[in-house]
Amino acid sequence: MPQLQLPMFPAGLTPINNNVAFQCENGEVVYVHGHLPVFQHRSDDIESFRLCTSQLILTGAARQVEIAKAFHVPLVTVKRYVKRFRQRGSKGVLPARRRRSESVLVGAVKQQAKELLEAGQSVPEVARATQVKAATLHKAIQAGRLPAALKKNPDRDGGATQ
C-alpha cells in the first residue's frame, strides 16, 4: 500500500504543488519531489528548465498551470514545450545543433577574388566585384584561403613630387 506523504518542504524551497518544489541558490536550480532532489541545472540554462518541467508535467508530478505560476512563465510557453517534448522527446526541447551554411567562396568566385587581390585591389573593391561580403573575404584571408590584400602606398613614386 502506498504511503502518504505530508506536504512539507525544508526551509528555502518554493513549492510548485504539494509534492514538488524547487530552490534557486548560487546560480543552481534544484527540483525536489517529496524530500528527494530529482533534477538540477544552472539558473541560466533555459533548455534544461524546459526539459525538466516538461518531464514533471508528463509524469503527472505537476500540472502545466502550476509550472506557469511557480516560475512566472506564460502558460502558452509551457504548453508549447510540453507538446514538443511529447512529439519529439528531449531532442524537441533541446536546441538543434547549428550547422554552417554552404561556403560562398568556391570555384570561380574564389579564383576571381584571388586574382583581384593579387592585382592589388582592396578587399572592399573585391567584395563589390565578386558580390561577396567583405567580412567573408577578411575571414578567408585570415584563414589563409586567400592571399592578403596588397596595401596601397601613396609614396610609390618615390616621394619625389616637384
C-alpha 123: how far from chain center: 31
The Cα–Cα gap between 81 and 46 comes to: 11
Mean pLDDT within 54-76: 94
Q: Which class in CATH covers the domain with range 14-93? A: mainly alpha
Q: List the chain domain ranges.
A: 14-93, 107-143
pLDDT tens, 91-130? 877 776 666 655 777 888 888 988 998 888 889 998 899 8
- Which pTM was predicted? 0.56
Residue 62 pLDDT > 90: yes
Contact 114, 146 (CB under 8 A): yes
Contact 130, 95 (CB under 8 A): no
Rg (CA), the chain: 29
Higher pLDDT, 5 or 122: 122
pLDDT confidence band for 140 (50 / 70 / 90): confident
* Degrees, nearest 5: CA angle 64-20-79: 15
The Cα–Cα gap between 112 and 126 comes to: 9
